Structures are given as structure tokens and as C-alpha cells.
Chain A
Amino acid sequence: MMVTNLWSIISKGDLLVHIIAVMVLLCACNDASAETFGRMEDLNTAAAFDEDEDEFEDEADTAGADKRSGLTDFTFTLAHDLSWATREPDPGIVTNRSSLRCEFDKSFWDNLFIKFDGKASLYLENDHVAEAGGKDADVDEEIREFYIQAGFDRFMIRAGKQVVVWGETDGDVINDVVSPRDESEFIFMDLEDSRLGQYMASMDLYSDYGDCLFFVTFKPGFNETPDRGTRYYRGLGDAVVTEERTEFSDREAGFKWKKIFDKFELSFMTASLLQNAGVLEHQSGNVYNKVYERYGFYGVGASYTIGSFLFKIDASFKNDYSLQSKGIEFQYGKKERNISDAAFAIEYDANGRYTMNLELTNRHVFDYSKELCGMDRNNTGLYFQYNKKFFNDTLEFEYASYHQFQEKNTFHKTELDYSFSDDIELSIEYVFFQMTDRESFLWNYRNEDRIGAELKIYY
């Protein structure tokens, strides 16, 4: 139709109109040319774009394939960690240790899968762990995970030493109550590295109504605290503390359900657990027993994303949870209370320029009484995290801080990670404390500011 109209114009107009009409007709006939359309300068510029195309030395097309060798199922991480305490009265080297971590996983036959994750550490001279043992060097090893699993289309069962992570938020322990943590290095160990495996049998079920997890723990483990004589040990003077041990017949059990509704995710959790953190109970004289009591756990987690924001909520109710109390003549004991823990978090991504995470947490103790030690009726904290990457993600800066409102205690953590190559990384970290409440537990750590460096080599 357009061509017909144009032709009628051509047939009626003068020469100039004819020329223009012919040009338009050519366009309509899809016969575009540089002379007809667009800006000529663009085309000329474009034509010159090829000039450096062949100037590259062609790198090996199969660089990745060539690198892969027989050890594809293994990842070894060799690391050395060196840190210094920076504040009086006890400045100097705190950690001087090397470690070798081995991670292995492999599928075999049709449905089976095995995973191993273990680490051996060598504590060298001046490291506080070696010094505590009165040795020039000390070694230890830890198997974090070692399990076998059988997978099928709709479900999977897993048995062995495992880590289970629950919850949406990271600032406090709200719903992430299953796996105990290694607190022997106080707050200086990253959350990811601090989780400890337990012997468990678990089953995951995947359905249109949501994903479910059931687990049973045998011989539950507890948080690892600093050993006597090590840098971060804060004991009760000359008190003798005996620790409760679990047997293989001791059990924990739990269940989680999770479903995604478009931008919204919802999960419910319930479990019967032994507390990961122990409570001291006076026996006689200067003898205390550290006990890990059973409690009921009920939790809910949710997240919702819109644009640059991710909103996260964790809330839990812990029934008959044992808390530390301080009685007459400063004797420690345990008091059972119901408590509710909650966290609300906002995560912001500035379109790749940086990310921020802000979490407000609160623990409320029902039937609060003054004898409860190191806590108020409400215990509110604010966790903040900022992360920015530079130079094509080879340099990463992170700042994190945690502020406790009632005790007005704060600590700050800054970290700089640089990867020299695909396989070599260096992390530098500085942690400092601002403690104001003399009655708080953290007051004992007010002089533990520390700067550290860790070199990691992967192969």
C-alpha cells in the first residue's frame, strides 16, 4: 500500500519530488544503504571499529579444560594465619598457625553421593593455643562434614556428620540453632567457618507444596569455647568446671518446611534440641557443672524482595530455655525461661556498586528476674554490614559492626580481601571494640583489638 501511494506521488510531482520519493521508495523496499539512512559519521566510525580486532594474541581456547586434572573432586586449601593484638596491656602475636583443608565430593553409582570436609591445623610458636599447651607447636584436626547421601527424584536421605543452616538473617542466632559453633576464637572466626558438624540422619522432601527437611541428631555437639589458658578464655578463677557429655543415645530432632511464593519466601521450623551454649550450675565448693538443657524451638523465617531491597525476618520462640543466673554469694546456676528471639533485616544492593545489610535483633525474656546474669528483659542489637568490590571483583572491602543497645557495647570489623590470582588470596582484617558496660560479659574483651592477615592458596 505504501509503495502504491508513493508511486502516485511520483507520477504527479516534479523532478525534486521524484528524487525524494524514489529515495523513500527504496527505503520501503528494504534496500537500505549508507547514503540513504542514518548518520554517515556513525557509519564511518563504525567501519573503523575493526582496527584492533586481530591485534590480540589468541589465548588458548581451552584454557579451562587444560587446567583440569585428575584431582577435580578434591579442593585443597593451604592457609597461614598471623595476627597481632594491638592494645595494652597484652599486645603481641595472637595467632601464628597454618592449616590444610581438604574438601572432597563425588557422585557414584546412580544415586549415591559422598562428601568430606576436614581440616588439620598446626599452631606454631607464639600462637596462643600452642602457648596454652606449653608447647612450641601443637596440632589438631577437625572433620566438619563427612556424609553419604542417596538421592531420588522427590527426596534425598543423608547420613553422617553434617551442618544444617536455618534462618534468613546472620546477625544473631535466631533460627540458626541446629549446628553448634566454634567460639574458641571469640568473634574472630567467620560465621561460615565456625559451624560444626554433628552426626545426623536427615531427609529432604521436595514437593509442589513446599520443601521439607526432617533430621535426627545422634550424640549432639555443643559450642566450642576457649580452652583454659588460651587467649580468649574467661573462666571463673580457680573454679573447677566439669562438662556434661552426651551419649549416642541422646537425640535431637527437627522439621522445616519452606515454600517460595514468587518474590516471597516462607519457612516454618520446629525442633526439640539441646542448647548449644552451656550454662554453669553450682555443685559444691568451687565445683561447677556445665549443662546443656533441652528446650523446644519454634521458628518462622520470611523474605521479600522488591527492586534493590530484600527484607528478611526471623522469629522464634524457645520454650524452657536455660539461662545463666547468679545467686547468693555469687554462685552460678540455671533458670528456665521462655524466650522470644526476633530479627528484622534490610539488604540493599546499589546495582552492583556496593551492598548494605542492616539487621535489628531482639531477645525478650519472659518472667524476667534480676538474678539472670548478663542480660536484660529485652536485649536489642543492631548489626550493620557494608561490602564493595573493586577491580573486577579482585579486591573486596567489607565493614561490619554490631552494637548492643542496653549494654552500649560495640565492635567493628573491617576486612580487605585481595586475590592475586585465581588460586591465591590474601585477607587483612582489623577488629576493634568499644565496651562501656562494666557489668557486661563483653567488658572482659575490651582490650582484644586485633589486626590479622591470612594467606590462602587453593589447589
Chain B
Amino acid sequence: MKKLLLILAMLIFTGAICSAQDAKEIMRKVDDRDDGSTEISRVSLTSYRYVKKNGKNVPAEKPRVKVMDFIKKDYGPREKDHKSVSIMIEPKSERGISFLQYDYEEVGRDTDQWMYLSAMGKVKRIVSGNDNEPKTGSFFGTELNYEDMEAYALDDYTYKILGSETYRKRECWVIEATPVMRKAIKSNYSREIFWVDKERDFTLKSVLFNRNGKKSKKIYRAKIERIDGILVPMKIVVNNIETKRRTTMIYENIILNRPVEDSYLTQRTLSDKGFRERKLKEYQKTMM
């Protein structure tokens, strides 16, 4: 009998490890999916508070619309380091504000960020934040915070397959990600659940739980199109359940894998608008 219990325990333990490994493997495929070595895009971010009216969630205020140009280039052997520039086009009150950001795959290496405010007339380095507590600041006033905008680190989570279900007519894995201790202390979320398209290794939906274990945000990825051979969600919706606010991010245009010079991803692009516009025009020409 003792032997039987031992075998039983071992088998259950082995099964759990298998599940975790498979789940991680699925998430690795999602993470490794080609998203292009460069991206040149124009994005609009629409945010508003909503209320339920006649069974529909409708805006309770005039939506705030931000439009920005975004240029990103991958670096490193695994293309997991990124340099990006974000330039605010609208609203007029924020026009010209721009950000330069360097993200690194290396665990513990802080993101480098610089901001240019046209009113200030100089490029200013921004503090990347404390790694021992959550980053709570809103990204441009949207429902995304700075943690949501960080590059996803696969090893920061343990994974478990919760099941398999059809979502939006696609067969999906339902996978739970729980942050490991080093991530948990600095994350806004205690766990996340992903709906991963089995065929395309693509996350269609995710649900994020706050540090108290309550549902916090739902993120939907819709209008998935193939751009330059790469799948891109042209519309991303973030529904903040806690604040009853919603942000919709839409790619007005996007091109991938076009050459972007290293010199474009420097401080010069923030402060020298002539250079920025000229190069951007060159890059955007390839959209035609």
C-alpha cells in the first residue's frame, strides 16, 4: 500500500511538472513568435470612463484621444533588447512630447528612458523606477500602466494549462501565469490568464488579477491582420474592471521589418524635429 501511495504521489508530481513545462513551452512559442525586427507605426489611444446603458457599456465622458508615432528596433542575438521612440502627435496640448526608451532582456538591468518636452527645450532622463514595488503610473493617461508596456520576460512567471476552449472561433489554450517571487514583489498583478490561439501561437485575450486576487483588467486583441507576413492585432482593447475605464489602441498604419538607422533611436530624434520628420518620411515612404 505504501509503495502504491509513493507511486501515486510521484506520478501526480511528474504530471504537474509536465503541465508546467508544456504551458511554458506554449508561452515560449508565443514569446518567440516573429513580431518583426523593426516597427514604424502610428497609433491612436482612446480612453474613457464607461457606464452601462440599455445593456451596453457606453462612454460616460468625451473620450480622450492620443495619437503617436512609434518607431522600434530590436537588438541583441535574440532580438529581445529594444530601442524605441514615441512621438506625440495629438492632442495639440501634448504635441511634440517624445520619449526614447531602451529595454533590455538582461534580468535586473533597468530600462533607459529620456523625455523631451518642447516647452522645456531639453532632453531629460527619466527615472525608470524602483524594482521592489509595482509601477503604478498611467501610460499617457490610458488604462495601461508602465508595467503593461514593459517587455515580457518569460522566466518571470510559472505557467499552468487551465484547459482548452474555443474563443472567437479559434481553438485556444487557457494558460495561467503566476509571477515568481522576484516578479511578484514588483508586479501590479498576482496572476494572469491567457487565451492562446493554438494554431497561431498568438494571445487573443488576457485577464489580469490585482495583488488582492481580484479581476483587474481584461485585454482583448482583435482585427488580427498579416502585415508584411507577421500577425498584428490592429486593435487592442484594455478594459479596466476596477476603474470602469477602457482604452482602445488602434494601429492607424504600421510597417514592419524596414530598415531603421541606429542614429534614429538616439536623443537627436527627440530634440531635432527636422531630422525626425525627414527620416520618418523616408521610412514611411516604404508604406506606399
Residues of chain A having any CB pair with chain B under 8 Å: 2, 9, 13-14, 16-17, 20-21, 23-24, 27-28, 30, 32-39, 42-43, 46-47, 49-50, 52-53, 55-57, 59, 61-65, 67-68, 75-76, 105, 107, 110-113, 115, 149-151, 153, 156, 163-165, 192-193, 195, 204, 206, 211, 260, 262-263, 265, 303, 305-310, 347-353, 355, 389, 392-394, 419, 421-423, 425, 456, 458-459
Contacts and interface: CB of A to CB of B under 8 A. Distances in A.
Contact of B162 (A38, A112, A393): A38
Contact of B56 (A35, A57, A262, A458): A57
A165 B122 contact: yes
Most chain B CB neighbours (cut-off 10 Å) among A9, A113, A265, A351? A351
B259 interface: no
Contacts of A76: 92
B224 interface: no
Contacts of A305: 110, 112, 125, 127-128
Interface centre among B18, B160, B165 (most CB of A within 10 A): B18
Nearest to B63: A59
A151 B135 contact: no
Contacts of B44: 62-65
Interface string B46-89: 11101010011111001111110000000000000000000001
B275 A27 contact: no
A104 B55 CA distance: 46
A347 B12 CA distance: 52
Contacts of A24: 11-12, 14-15, 18
Nearest to B266: A206
A345 B217 CA distance: 38
A207 to B, nearest CB: 10
B142 interface: yes
Interface of B: 4, 7-8, 11-12, 14-15, 18-19, 22-23, 44, 46-48, 50, 52, 55-59, 62-67, 89-93, 95, 110, 112, 117, 119-122, 125-131, 133-138, 140-143, 145-146, 160-165, 167, 173-174, 176, 193, 205, 207, 215, 218, 220, 235, 237, 239, 245-246, 248, 250, 252, 263, 266-268, 272-275, 277-278, 281
B187 to A, nearest CB: 11
Contact of A55 (B55, B93, B119, B252): B55
B278 A56 contact: no
Contacts of A156: 272, 274-275
B125 A28 contact: no
Given A38-B163, A42-B162, A57-B57, A393 B193 contact: no
Given A105-B273, A107-B281, A55 B56 contact: yes
Contacts of B134: 351
A351 B135 contact: yes
B125 A9 contact: no
A385 B149 CA distance: 27
A215 to B, nearest CB: 14
9 contacts: A32-B23, A38-B176, A55-B52, A56-B57, A64-B67, A105-B273, A150-B274, A347-B127, A421-B64
Given A13-B7, A57-B56, A352-B146, A423 B137 contact: no
A190 to B, nearest CB: 8
Contact of B274 (A59, A63, A112): A112
A75 B15 CA distance: 62
Contacts of B263: 153, 206
A68 B92 CA distance: 10
B162 A353 contact: no
Given A351-B134, A351-B137, A43 B274 contact: no
B274 A49 contact: no
Contact of B248 (A28, A38, A59, A153): A59
A192 to B, nearest CB: 4
A232 to B, nearest CB: 23
A34 B215 CA distance: 21
The 10 closest A-B pairs by CB, nearest first: A352-B137, A113-B274, A34-B163, A64-B44, A422-B91, A64-B67, A393-B141, A38-B162, A349-B127, A308-B130
B161 A37 contact: yes
A57 B62 contact: no
B121 A192 contact: yes
